[in-house]
Chain A
Amino acid sequence: MNIENPSVSIKQLDLSFGAVNVLNGLNLDIAEGEFLVLLGSSGCGKSTLLNCIAGLLEPTDGQIHIKGKNVTWAEPSERGIGMVFQSYALYPQMTVRGNLSFGLKNARVPKPEIEKRVARAAEVLQIEALLDRKPAALSGGQRQRVAIGRALVRDVDVFLFDEPLSNLDAKLRADLRVELKRLHNQLQNTMIYVTHDQVEAMTLANRIAIMKDGNIMQLGTPDEIYNQPQNLYVADFIGSPSMNFLNGTLENGTFACRDLTLPMSGYAFAAPQVADDAAVIGIRPEHIITGELVAGAPVKTQVLIDLVEPMGSDTLVYAQVDGKPFRIRMDGQARVAMGETLDIGIDPARASLFDQNTEARL
């Protein structure tokens, strides 16, 4: 995907701490107004990349462009970015108003203008009533709002978020997530958001970049990432409970393992010609057909139920296929019990097929 006039552009970025390479020749273009999520497990380099964009870390090699300007050597404050940190990083001795106006005072913005901008940010984030309080007197959610406000008042082009919701409890996290999405719709700024929470990534992002060991494993819309993972890592990383994987062989367009034979006629192969080889098929627990619909499924089989986890909205069933654990997500109203056999159906068109050696999507 080629982006014209990217808002942020990262070119061949390398970063190493001594002998450890954290980022390897990373290239990434982020469009104007895009909400890009950097997703990965800890140590994958996502926060490091964000700190490089912010100018808090010096890259070993490569360039960073923001709004078409090469800012590789620029100070953090000169880059036109605002950043929100996981630990809020509010100045504890200043009031909320002091926190919001600190950056503007440093930039020598005239006083009436500061007041105007602080008032506007406070209104957008609904923290007007808190302006004269110290951070210690705020709840976690309020603090994070102030931290967002601090980025907001600076009128920047690019917002950087470093796991901003990770310190909040589950309910507040969900609330603030929706607010963030609303804020993005309202402001239409470029936002780069680092998280290890795939729900945040899926719900917020225009595009997700899944990172591993300093490389981008896949860059795509949430829909692409979820439905067409480009490799085994992404397929396994996204989805909870994670995808079921079965090892087998692909012969003449049919995938076969010990327990199952799946004709892949409806499957959209990545390349028109696929050689017969060892392959891995990935099937999402929620794509397994159960109940009355099994009759119309392309492939049918039976499994023995090992364990049932009722979660209210849906029910997770654990079984075994081909000697490997196999998870099935059923409707919450399904009445199933341990030890029963369950009829299931599989639609190969919705599955993902990977090469066993290269781990790339077939």
Chain B
Amino acid sequence: MSASTTNLTGPTGPKPKSGVTVASFFVYGTLFIMALYYLAPLYVMITTSLKTMPEIRQGDVFALPRDITFQPWFDAWRSENTGAVSRGLSDGFWNSVTITIPSVILSISIASVNGYALANWPFKGATVFFTILIFGAFIPYQLMLYPIVILLKNIGLYGDLGGLIIVHTIFGMPILTLLFRNYFSTLPSELFSAARIDGAGFWGIFFRVMLPMSVPIVVVAVILQITGIWNDFLFGVVYARSETWPMTVQLNNIVNSTFGEKEYNVNMAATILTGLVPLTVYLVSGKLFVRGIAAGAVKG
């Protein structure tokens, strides 16, 4: 190697970064406009919920609130104008919690075992069973609404939170089973073989080998189920009584109340309150989700 430095001509070293081009201007411009478009409703909802009714009546939806008030939020949480029944969102909130938590736990527990059995323990008629289960995912809910009403009446759970929990658990089964089966099928089959040679049985392999590796898919299932069940309106309105209405049904009653003046600020606050749970789940689990995927990506 010679230490002499000769002057090189032509392109040398890193390629210079180009500045703002027409293409990048259009890309960022479009993205900015789209972002505004999607954020505008949220902005209107938050500002309106902090305004007083006289201020709202002036009609400028995009104006910032002059006298910020949190009264609409309190009213939404515990107001007296939920249709004919005097109750606020708070009861609906606790109903939704009581429905969602057991439904999520129950449906994921059963579906994960289903998926594991279908993926790793081929039994006679497994494909037929799986096909029937998947077929269930394509049947419109409306078809089953009334039969389930009769079913729940017969077992005495119609209008009960327990009935709703059962309905949500059953309706979550096809998609969740598919999710878990597909995930377990991607895990190396040698791992399963190794556990069998190590003398672990059906449950031993499930709890000690498979489940610890399933954090990412469990997180996905939890997000799916919490948002799905929390946002459900149809089952809530059909299978619950006024005392057991979930939050979504209560929200509908507030917003669609036909008595007196439309309280836009309360409506906005109530809507944000109802959407807060799925929103929090996304924000919190987003991080967990990424971490779960990263942890699962390390091959053992």
Q: Give the distance in Å from the alpha carbon of A91 to the alpha carbon of B200 in the complex.
A: 13
Q: Verify if B195 is at the interface (C-beta below 8 Å from A).
A: yes
Q: From A55, A76, A93, give the contact of B212 (CB < 8 A).
A: A93
A77–B191 touching, CB < 8 Å: no
The stretch of A64-72, A99-107, A114-122, A227-235 in contact with B is: A99-107
Q: From A90, A103, A150, give the contact of B300 (CB < 8 A).
A: A90
Chain A's closest residue to B188 (CB) is A87
| A135 neighbours in B (Cβ, 8 Å) | 300
Q: Which of B196, B198, B209, B300 has the most CB of A within 10 A?
A: B198
| A134 neighbours in B (Cβ, 8 Å) | 300
Q: Verify if A210 is at the interface (C-beta below 8 Å from B).
A: no
Q: Which residues of B contact A (CB under 8 A)?
A: 188, 190-191, 193-200, 204, 208-209, 212-213, 298-300
Chain B's closest residue to A137 (CB) is B298
Q: Which of A51, A91, A134 has the most CB of B within 10 A?
A: A91
**How far in angstroms is the closest Cβ of chain B from A138?**
9
A56–B193 touching, CB < 8 Å: yes
Q: From A76, A82, A107, give the contact of B196 (CB < 8 A).
A: A76
Chain B's closest residue to A103 (CB) is B198
B191–A89 touching, CB < 8 Å: yes
| A106 neighbours in B (Cβ, 8 Å) | 198-200, 204
Chain B's closest residue to A54 (CB) is B197
Supply 17 A–B pairs (Cβ within 8 Å), ascending by A: A56-B193, A76-B193, A77-B198, A85-B193, A86-B190, A87-B188, A88-B300, A89-B191, A89-B193, A90-B194, A90-B300, A92-B298, A93-B212, A93-B213, A103-B199, A106-B204, A136-B299
A92–B199 touching, CB < 8 Å: no
Q: Which of B190, B197, B199, B209 has the most CB of A within 10 A?
A: B197
Q: Give the distance in Å from the alpha carbon of A150 to the alpha carbon of B300 in the complex.
A: 14
Q: Verify if A81 is at the interface (C-beta below 8 Å from B).
A: yes
**How far in angstroms is the closest Cβ of chain A from B138?**
30
Q: Give the distance in Å from the alpha carbon of A199 to the alpha carbon of B209 in the complex.
A: 35
**How far in angstroms is the closest Cβ of chain A from B105?**
21
Chain A's closest residue to B204 (CB) is A106
Q: Give the distance in Å from the alpha carbon of A94 to the alpha carbon of B199 in the complex.
A: 16
Q: Which of A81, A92, A107, A154 has the most CB of B within 10 A?
A: A92
**How far in angstroms is the closest Cβ of chain A from B206?**
13
| B197 neighbours in A (Cβ, 8 Å) | 54, 56, 76-77, 81-83, 103
Q: Verify if A75 is at the interface (C-beta below 8 Å from B).
A: yes
B193–A150 touching, CB < 8 Å: no
A75–B196 touching, CB < 8 Å: yes
Q: From B194, B200, B204, B298, give the contact of A85 (CB < 8 A).
A: B194
Q: Label chain B's interface by main secondary structure.
A: helix
A77–B199 touching, CB < 8 Å: yes
Q: How many residues on chain A are close to B (CB under 8 Å)?
A: 29
Q: Which residues of A contact B (CB under 8 A)?
A: 51, 54-56, 75-77, 81-83, 85-94, 102-103, 106-107, 134-136, 150, 154
Q: How many A-B residue pairs have CB under 8 A?
A: 72
Q: Give the distance in Å from the alpha carbon of A94 to the alpha carbon of B205 in the complex.
A: 13
**How far in angstroms is the closest Cβ of chain B from A166?**
13
B196–A77 touching, CB < 8 Å: yes
| B188 neighbours in A (Cβ, 8 Å) | 87, 89
Chain B's closest residue to A106 (CB) is B199
| B204 neighbours in A (Cβ, 8 Å) | 106
Q: Which of A82, A94, A102 has the most CB of B within 10 A?
A: A102
A54–B193 touching, CB < 8 Å: yes
Q: Give the distance in Å from the alpha carbon of A183 to the alpha carbon of B209 in the complex.
A: 29
**How far in angstroms is the closest Cβ of chain B from A143?**
8
Q: Other than A77-B200, A89-B191, A135-B300, give 4 A-B pairs with Cβ distance below 8 A.
A: A77-B199, A86-B190, A91-B195, A93-B212
A92-B298, A93-B213, A136-B299 are known contacts. Are A87 and B198 too (CB-CB below 8 A)? no
B209–A136 touching, CB < 8 Å: no
**How far in angstroms is the closest Cβ of chain B from A163?**
11
| A75 neighbours in B (Cβ, 8 Å) | 196, 199
| B212 neighbours in A (Cβ, 8 Å) | 91-94
Q: Give the distance in Å from the alpha carbon of A56 to the alpha carbon of B120 in the complex.
A: 12
A92–B198 touching, CB < 8 Å: no
What are the 6 tightest A-B residue pairs by CB atom distance, in nearest-first order? A92-B300, A77-B199, A103-B198, A93-B212, A106-B199, A89-B190
A91–B191 touching, CB < 8 Å: yes
**How far in angstroms is the closest Cβ of chain B from A111?**
17
Q: Give the distance in Å from the alpha carbon of A103 to the alpha carbon of B193 in the complex.
A: 12
A56–B196 touching, CB < 8 Å: yes
**How far in angstroms is the closest Cβ of chain A from B144?**
38
Chain A's closest residue to B211 (CB) is A93
**How far in angstroms is the closest Cβ of chain A from B168?**
30
Q: Give the distance in Å from the alpha carbon of A106 to the alpha carbon of B199 in the complex.
A: 6
Q: Give the distance in Å from the alpha carbon of A154 to the alpha carbon of B196 in the complex.
A: 13
Q: Give the distance in Å from the alpha carbon of A39 to the alpha carbon of B133 in the complex.
A: 43
| A88 neighbours in B (Cβ, 8 Å) | 300
Q: From B193, B198, B300, give the contact of A136 (CB < 8 A).
A: B300
A93-B212, A93-B213, A135-B300 are known contacts. Are A87 and B190 too (CB-CB below 8 A)? yes
| B208 neighbours in A (Cβ, 8 Å) | 91, 102
Q: From B194, B299, B300, give the contact of A83 (CB < 8 A).
A: B194
Q: Give the distance in Å from the alpha carbon of A89 to the alpha carbon of B300 in the complex.
A: 7
| A87 neighbours in B (Cβ, 8 Å) | 188, 190
Q: Give the distance in Å from the alpha carbon of A51 to the alpha carbon of B194 in the complex.
A: 11
Q: Which of B193, B208, B209 has the most CB of A within 10 A?
A: B193
